[in-house]
Structures are given as C-alpha cells and as structure tokens.
Amino acid sequence: MKPLPRNPEPILTLCTALLLAAALYAVFLHAPAERVMGLVQKIFYFHLSCALAAFLSFTTACAAGVAYLVSRNLKWDILGAAAVEIGLVFTTLVLATGMLWGRPVWNAWWTWDPRLTTSLILWFIFASYFILRSAVEQRQRRATYCAVMAIVGFVDVPIVFLSARLWRSIHPVVIKADSINMAPAMVTALLASLAAFTALWVLLLQRRVRTLALAERILTMEHRLDREPALSTERK
Amino acid sequence: MRIAWLVIRKDLAAELRSPQAMVSMLFFGFLLLVILNVAVPAGARVAPETGAGILWVAVTFAAVLGLARTFDREKQNRCLEGLLLSPLSPEALFGAKMAVNCIFMGISQVAILPIFFILYGDGFLHAPVMLALVLLLANTGFSATGTLFAAITAGANRNEALLPMLFFPLVMPLIAMAVKVTSMIFAGAGPAEYGSWLQVMAAFALIFTGLGFLFTGRIIRD
Amino acid sequence: MHSTYFLLTAYLVIWAGIFAYLLATGRQQRRLAQRLEILEQRISETEARP
C-alpha cells in the first residue's frame, strides 16, 4: 500500500482563511449597498460562491464517475463520494441563502423559477446518491452504481433546467436574478468571494478524500486482522 | 436481436400465466385515481392542469410498481447468471427489459385512461392521438430510466423502497413536461403550441436510452 | 431595516452550515483515530504472540 501523500492542509487552511477574510472585507466594507434592494443584495456574493462550489463538486463527481468506470480504481470512487458530499452541503446553503434573499426581494420564500427548481432537483438527485451508497454493501458494486448515478444525475441537470425554462417561457415571470448592473467594487467583492469559496472547496475536498481513504484502509486492515487468527489456528 | 425478442416473449408469457405486475399496476392506478379525487372540490369542474396532474400521478406511481419488478423473476432462481452465460449481451437484455416495461405501462394506461375520463369528465377528450404520443414518449423515457435503475436496485439490499427514491428525482423533468403537455391537450390547444415540449421529451427518452445501453453491461456484471 | 435581518440570517446560515459540516467530519475523524488505535493494539498483540 502506498503511503498517504504529505498533508498540504496547513498551507491551504491559511490561504482559505485569508481569502475568506478578504472576501468578507470586500463584501461588507468595500462594495457599496445596492440602490434598489439595499443591504440584502450582499447575500448575492456568497450565494453565488456557494453555487460555484456546488457546481465544481458535481462536475468533479461526474468526472470521477467516468474515471472510475474506465479505470476501476477505487480512489476515484472516494473522490466522487467526497465531491457529492460537499456538493450537497453547498447546494443546501445555496437554497437556504436563496430563500433568505427571495423573501425580502421577491416577497416569497420560494418561486418556481428555473434556477431554483433546478437546484432543488439537483439536491434531490445527489441526496439519493447517498441513499444508494448506504444500500449497497459490496465495495466494487457500490462504486460502479454510484459512478453511474453521478454521471446520470449530472446529465439530467441540463434537461431539468431546459424543461423548467420552457415552463416559464409560457407563463412569463419577470425575475432575472443575475441581470444586475454591478459597480466595479461589487465585481471585486464578487471575485474575492468566488476565490475564497473555491479555496474552501479545495480544502474541504482534499480533507474529505483523505478521511475517506483512511477509513477505507482501516476497514481493509480490520478485515485482514479478523481473518488472520482463523488462518493461524487452521495451520495448527 | 433474436435473443432479445426471446426474452421479451418469455416475460410476456410469464406475465400472461400469472399477471402479478399487471394486477398491481392496474389496481394501484385505479386506487390513486379514486384517492386523488379529494383534491377536487365537490361539484366543481376539474381544471385541465389539475386533471393532468391527477392522471400523471396515477400513471407514474403505477409505472413504478411495474418497474420495481423488472428483474424479480431473474433474481429468484439465479436466472440472471444463467442469462449472462448465454450468448445474450447485457445491452440486448436491457433493450428487452425496457421493451417489456414499455409494453406493461402501455397496457396499464389503456385501462387507466378510460377510468380517468369516466371519473373526471370526458370534456378533456380532445386529441386522443396526441395524448397517445405523449404517453408513448413518457413511457419510453420512464422505461429507459426505470430499467437502468431497476438493474441497480436489483443489486442493492433494500430494493423495494430504493427504486422510487432514485427514479423520481431523475424523471421529474419528464413528468413535469408530460403534465404540461397533457393539460394543454385537455384545454384544447393545438400541436403547434406544445411541439417544443414534445421535442424535449423525445430528447430525454433518447438520452436515457443511450445511457442505459452504455451502463447496463457494467451494472449487471458487477 | 427589515431586510438587514435577512442579510444577517443568510450569513449566519452559511457559517453555521459550514461549521456544522466541519464538526461532523471532525467527529468522523476522531472515531477513525480511535479505530486506528485499536487496530495498532491488535497488530502488536498478533505480532507478539508467535
């Protein structure tokens, strides 16, 4: 068995913390308040950053699924599981912050806008990934099933978006979440928070991959130890 | 191709001898149509959207019952291993199972639809051919996705409860589109108004059939 | 003023969410460390036996 790679966590953690602090400064002190929506608009920066992290996660999961089916190397399965897990956390945050923005701005917690619908169904698809994961015992089989699930889920997302948009194009709703003219300082704040959340995402992902890989190794060692005494008694 | 046909015939013959899947699908479908009646205020005319929603809840939930049984017979006597040893390719098996599921859904809908029109009013009966086309597209999409996930849940532990949980999030767009088109048909709209929806439904069916053929080999062999 | 509460809640939710996740993963890591310790003990026992 190969040794685990050197832990890059301290440097990464430091970078993430600095970037997050910078992003918070940019969002709250540097960027001006939006004229129409007021301070609430500041939710937008971290909301979009969470969405970016979620998107990165699910793309990674799909790529890891393909890589697993091609190579049958369990490390890709671990990467996929870690990515979906983090993606689920960030999708939850996206939905929560989206609702908290929608309530004061649109006067409703929830609308069936294509973006909202898509993120909700995305959340369901990848939550069912974990239900599937817990339902299959055998290791290789679980990896194959989960890889298929991640790929199929990822392919499904554009269709969900398309169908939700078709729906709205017939009942037009004038909600355009992203057609906001942004001042330069707002762009800076947005870029800072996007960078911070990408760093946070990398940090979480490598941490989860290491933990899951460790869990895997411990499990195989336990199995081997459980079998060994039996073997030695047979030999006697 | 010929062997796939044999599998289809085998499944249909078994179903004819003891129609377990068919009975549960039809019974559950009727039951849902009756239960969903509570969504309609007493004496009021059903709006086209409500009617379409009720019809599709009954149709999809009945379909899931059939899908869950896709690989039941193969699992019972370790027939799946036998089928894999035969010259039958997993892709052909997938195609055959998908066709069988599609046929079962079609038959159950032929029985569910008249009941629906009886219970909720025949004022909805506008363009039967287009309605059949919508059902056909939806059935193809359902049976492609459903057969793929039935293969997956056949290898998992708690497979009865698992299939709907994996299946519904993925086919949500297909159900939404089907309900939309059906409500337009019920309201008397012409094909020009919902043509683009039918295209997206067809695309969904095509994509998931492709994915099914692509992945079944891996799923069944593991 | 009312909308400021929503802003505060949103940021609170983000931080709470991330920290809850970190806490959960931290707990899993601690459990793993325990299992690792038991494993090391068992290995040293089996090596000492023959």
Q: What share of chain B is helix, strand, coil (3-state, %, to 5)?
A: 85, 0, 15
d(CA B3, CA B86): 9
Check residue B29 and give its pLDDT.
92
Which of C2, C13, C19, C31 to mutate against chain A (most A CBs within 10 Å)? C13
Query: Could you state, in order of their start, the residue ranges of all structural domains in chain B?
Result: 2-221
Q: What is the pLDDT, as a whole number, of residue A174? A: 40
Instruction: Give the pLDDT band (50/70/90) at residue A3.
Output: low
- Beta-bridged to residue A38, according to DSSP, are A34
DSSP calls for B191-206? HHHHHHHHHHHHHHHH
Encode pLDDT of A65-118 as tens digits: 999 999 999 999 999 999 999 999 999 999 988 888 877 777 777 777 777 888
**Structural domain count of chain A:** 1
Domain that holds residue A74: 45-174+185-228
Average pLDDT, chain B: 86
Quote the CA–CA distance of B17 and B9 in Å, as a whole number.
Answer: 12
Is there a contact between B55 and B182 (Cβ–Cβ < 8 Å)? yes
What confidence score (pLDDT) does residue A171 get? 43
User: Structure tokens of B95?
Assistant: 């195609």
User: Is C42 an interface residue toward A (CB < 8 Å)?
Assistant: yes
Residue A233 maps to a domain: no
Mean pLDDT across A170-195 = 65
CA-based nearest residue to A224, from A234, A235, A232: A232
pLDDT > 80? residue A4: no
In Å, how far are A77, A167, A173, A207 from A4, measured between CA atoms?
Answer: 17, 49, 52, 12
Q: Are A96 and C13 within 8 A, CB to CB?
A: yes
pLDDT at residue number A2: 54
pLDDT at A175 over 50: no
Average pLDDT over residues A199-222: 89
* pLDDT tens digits, B93-103: 889 999 999 99
Partner C contacted by A52 (CB < 8 A):
no
CA distances from A157 to A120, A149, A212, B76, B197 (A): 10, 12, 27, 36, 17
Residue boundaries of the structural domains of chain C: 22-50
pLDDT of residue B31: 92
Contacts of residue B120, defined as CB under 8 A and 6 or more positions apart, other chains included, come to B33, B40, B46, B51, B54, B55
Collect all residues of chain A within an 8 Å Cβ-Cβ radius of residue C46: 225, 228-229
Return the amino acid letter for A77: D
Q: For A203, which residue in chain C has the nearest alpha carbon?
A: C22
A46, A92, A103 member nearest C11 (Cβ): A46
ipTM rounded to 2 decimals: 0.85
Does A35 map to a domain?
no
pLDDT score of C11: 84
Q: Report the mean per-residue pLDDT for chain A.
A: 81
Confidence of residue A167 (pLDDT cuts 50, 70, 90): low
- Whether the predicted pLDDT of A177 surpasses 80: no
Let me know if residue A156 belongs to a domain.
yes
Weakest-pLDDT range from A6-10, B187-191, C13-17: A6-10
Whether chain A has a CB inside 8 Å of the CB on C24: the answer is: no
**Statement: residue A14 has pLDDT above 70:** yes
Band of pLDDT at residue A182, cut at 50, 70 and 90: low
Using the predicted structure, report yes or no on whether residue A33 has a pLDDT greater than 60.
yes
Whether A50 and C14 lie within 8 Å, measured CB to CB: yes
What tokens appear for A78 in the block? 């671990």
Q: Number of A:B CB contacts under 8 A?
A: 88
Alpha helices for C1-50 (secondary structure H): 2-48
CA nearest neighbour of A119 among A129, A130, A111, A108: A111
Q: What's the pLDDT at A229?
A: 58
Give pLDDT < 70 ranges for chain B. Answer: 158-159
Instruction: Tell me: pLDDT of A30 over 50.
Output: yes
User: Does A202 have pLDDT greater than 70?
Assistant: yes
